[in-house]
Amino acid sequence: MKEKIQRIKELVEENLRGASDLEALENIRIKFLGKKGELTAVLKGMGALPAEERPVIGAMANEVRAFLEREIDGKKEELSAKLREAKLKREVIDVTMPGRVQETGKLHPLTSVMNSVKDIFLGMGFQIADGPEVEYDYYNFEALNIPPDHPARDSQDTFYINDNVVLRSQTSPMQIRVMEKQKPPIRIIAPGMVYRSDAVDATHSPVFHQIEGLVVDKGITMADLKGTLEMFIKSLYGSETKVRFRPHHFQFTEPSAEVDVSCFVCGGEGCRVCKGEGWIEILGCGMVHPKVLSNCGIDPEEYSGFAFGLGLERIAMRKYDIDDLRLFYENDLRFLKQF
């Protein structure tokens, strides 16, 4: 009996060495350890043994069975690992092939830049105001201290609907609309489309976008104007940007300024982009004219404020190095998809 068991053990060990796949392994298991297997058959013959030998042989048989099961499992593990390895090798793919893209759309570049500008001002506690594009002459000009027949109207070639209604030539009428409705403190930006009768070319469009800003409160100073706009510009263009406030004239602000930033290309040395000046004008601003405050029922002795206006197209053109404004309104997908 002992020998038989020993023999089975040896046979299994020998067979295992030769087994090269999982099927062969399973066959070995069935042949020797299965219900009808050889070891089982041996054990079934245990009844014929003397009673005192049975526990000894039984223990031995169990030991061998356990041993063989471990062996088989070990072999199985080994074979599985090999198979896995082989499968992984077969599964190698060319990862440099292009991915499958779920195509998403793109925001218009003007919207993207508008969003960055909005975000900066939202972060500074500004709200966003909105108003009509077909506007009364009163809001577009008169309330802004530009009476009829004033020469300042020349600088903005205006589209008229009738004597009293225009296509707004600037977002500044929103200053008046906001001040008429809201009491200080006021901190708003008013982005939107504006219209001027300029023929279309690489740098002009009869339709373009402006962003107006207005702050009115007690004790607002020109230093606040400088600080706020400097912060905005550095957020937009980077903290190393140099900012210059230069006196200018607008009818509805006094004092007024134009703001230049150091040239993006040459950094201030002077180049073709900045026409050798080293500076590029990006916005107009100033302290709200006392007449404008009065026109809106705000006492200029008690309150002061500042306003600014910037052209969105110009900022976007600089940001993306776009040299022709018409591209914005042509909406060629080959252009739109670049942003």
CB-CB contact of 325 with 106 (8 Å): no
**What's the token pair of residue 206?**
């009869």
Return d(Cα 195, Cα 173) in angstroms, integer: 13
- Tell me the CB-side half-sphere exposure of residue 181, using CA atoms within 13 A: 10
Return d(Cα 67, Cα 64) in angstroms, integer: 5
CB of 76 to another protein, least distance (A): 39
**What's the token pair of residue 75?**
């072999």
CB of 191 to another protein, least distance (A): 10
CB-CB contact of 171 with 190 (8 Å): yes
**What's the token pair of residue 138?**
């009163």
In the complex with another protein, the residue whose CB is nearer, 76 or 291, is 291
Read off φ and ψ for residue 310, nearest 5 degrees.
-135, 155
In the complex with another protein, the residue whose CB is nearer, 38 or 217, is 217
CB of 103 to another protein, least distance (A): 5
Return d(Cα 128, Cα 146) in angstroms, integer: 25
CB-CB contact of 118 with 128 (8 Å): yes
In the complex with another protein, the residue whose CB is nearer, 45 or 227, is 227
Dihedral over Cα of 110, 213, 196, 173: its sign: positive
In the complex with another protein, the residue whose CB is nearer, 20 or 155, is 155
**What's the token pair of residue 302?**
């008690």
If we measure between CA atoms, which residue out of 150, 110, 144 comes closest to residue 214? 144
CB of 83 to another protein, least distance (A): 39
Return d(Cα 125, Cα 187) in angstroms, integer: 7
CB of 97 to another protein, least distance (A): 22
If we measure between CA atoms, which residue out of 115, 141, 94 comes closest to residue 292? 141
In the complex with another protein, the residue whose CB is nearer, 34 or 300, is 300
Place of tokens 């082989």: 86
In the complex with another protein, the residue whose CB is nearer, 55 or 123, is 123
CB of 100 to another protein, least distance (A): 14
In the complex with another protein, the residue whose CB is nearer, 38 or 133, is 133
If we measure between CA atoms, which residue out of 108, 313, 318, 80 comes closest to residue 200? 313
CB of 296 to another protein, least distance (A): 16
In the complex with another protein, the residue whose CB is nearer, 82 or 218, is 218
CB of 7 to another protein, least distance (A): 58
**What's the token pair of residue 208?**
């373009």
